[in-house]
Chains A and B, each alone.
Chain A
Amino acid sequence: MKITDAAVFPYPNGDTSVRRLALEAAALGFDSLVAIDTPPGTYGDIEVRSGIIFRDVPVRDIVNRMKRYRGTGTVISVRAGDAGFNRAVIGMKGMHILRGIHGAEKNGFDHVTAKMAADNRVAIDIDLSTLIAMRGNARQKAIARYRDVLVLEERFEFPLTVSTGSGSVLDLRSVRDISGLCSLLDMDIPLVEKALAGVGTVTTPLVPPVRVIS
């Protein structure tokens, strides 16, 4: 099991180089990072995976763009939208993570979408930057949305990922801090461990239950 931060934004998107983020992440207890718009690499003990996020892009364009990244090892994420959009992107081949659920429409992620996510092994991301940076009503809404997602997770068992959305070393949090923040969402330790290993789960190809021997 690799403990992974599912989205960091190294320089030039943030103020920290990918090497420095990897150094700090290792000290904070991570095994790997998904760095958005950054080439993959290994820095010390940390594996940095390349990631891409599609934001505010129509479904048709996402299909075309996704083809470019398929089979490259890039972790593909899409920002959540309304229910129709979410169902369409979850059904796409090569899709890994649906993120930004807290900012999507209230009924954007329902039991049907949850079932589809479980069937297609698409992870739902828990963005901790919302819990860290937001205050008051905005944070309360985010916590409520994530708790609702976790109710569906308990029923359908779709994969989860956890991300800090760090653009800086100052935004990174230790694995213990992440566990503490997740406890605000009523996540127990095994569920936090599952979420931290979520990137590995969605990027590992499924082993078919039946092997055909000719």
Chain B
Amino acid sequence: MTPRPPTLRDKRRYLLARLEPAGTAVDQKELYYVIADAITSLFGDAAAAVMIQAVVAAEGDFVFLRCRRGTERELAIALSTITSLRETRIVLRIIAASGTMESLRERIRTRKSPEPAPAGSEDRIFDQKTVTPVYCNGQKIDVIEKGFKNAHRFFLTTEDLEKS
């Protein structure tokens, strides 16, 4: 099949989004269906067909999304209504939009990502609960309450842990 000449191809835009909380495992296909569901629910099938969104890549906490040029705003609005992936609560924070993925990759290189807490990091006490740090990023620290089941994640700062 002869490829379509560039002037006749659809113009695309790429969005870079960061997935929170840090360290959430992403399956591209599942994420695609969650986004498609959010778009359809908010704007309907007709608008979804115009957008032609796709999850192009997921690298660490970053996700590359693609849509037709001119529909970035609608895609961004739909992304802001996503609250969960499978049973896990998530949020997608849009960092940038660009015409090429390469320029978005450049953005990732300049950003500091949250780091997993070092192995064997000490348990801490927060509000009389024993918690284990899982992710740190500057002052921000995510902890998991120690328990037999339903491990609950808290979003704190280093100061919160020092004061309790």
Question: Would B157 and A23 count as touching, CB distance under 8 A?
Answer: yes
Task: Pick the contact of A173: B41, B73, B80, B160 (CB < 8 A).
Answer: B80
Roughly how many angstroms separate A24 CA and B20 CA in the complex, as a whole number? Answer: 12
Question: How many Å from the CB of B44 to the closest CB on chain A?
Answer: 12
B31 proximal to A (CB < 8 A)? no
- Select the stretch in B8-16, B88-96, B102-110, B116-124 that faces chain A: B88-96
Contacts of B41 in A (CB 8 A): 135-136, 139
Q: A15-B152, A23-B139, A180-B76 are in contact. Are A132 and B127 (CB under 8 A)?
A: no
Question: Would A23 and B140 count as touching, CB distance under 8 A?
Answer: yes
Specify the main secondary structure of chain B where it touches its partner.
Answer: mixed
A12 proximal to B (CB < 8 A)? yes
A174 proximal to B (CB < 8 A)? yes
Question: Would B80 and A170 count as touching, CB distance under 8 A?
Answer: no
Question: Would A133 and B83 count as touching, CB distance under 8 A?
Answer: yes
Q: Which residue of B lies closest to A16 (CB)?
A: B155
A131 proximal to B (CB < 8 A)? yes
Contacts of B83 in A (CB 8 A): 132-133, 170-171
Roughly how many angstroms separate A16 CA and B154 CA in the complex, as a whole number? Answer: 6
Question: Would A169 and B76 count as touching, CB distance under 8 A?
Answer: no
Interface size class of A (residues with CB under 8 A): 20 to 34
B130 proximal to A (CB < 8 A)? no
Question: Would B77 and A15 count as touching, CB distance under 8 A?
Answer: no
Question: Would A131 and B140 count as touching, CB distance under 8 A?
Answer: no
B146 proximal to A (CB < 8 A)? no
Task: Pick the contact of B154: A15, A176, A177 (CB < 8 A).
Answer: A15
B100 proximal to A (CB < 8 A)? no
Contact with B along A160-180 (1 / 0, CB 8 A): 000000001111111011001
Roughly how many angstroms separate A176 CA and B42 CA in the complex, as a whole number? Answer: 18
Contacts of B154 in A (CB 8 A): 11, 15-17
Q: Could you pull out 15 A-B pairs where Cβ atoms are within 8 angstroms?
A: A15-B154, A16-B154, A16-B156, A17-B155, A17-B160, A20-B157, A23-B139, A132-B81, A136-B41, A168-B89, A169-B20, A170-B83, A170-B91, A176-B76, A183-B77
Known: A15-B155, A170-B91, A183-B77. 12 other contacts (CB 8 A): A15-B153, A17-B154, A17-B160, A19-B160, A23-B139, A132-B80, A133-B83, A168-B155, A170-B21, A174-B94, A177-B77, A180-B77
Chain A residues at the B interface, C-beta cutoff of 8 Å: 11-12, 15-17, 19-20, 23-24, 131-133, 135-136, 139, 168-174, 176-177, 180-181, 183-184
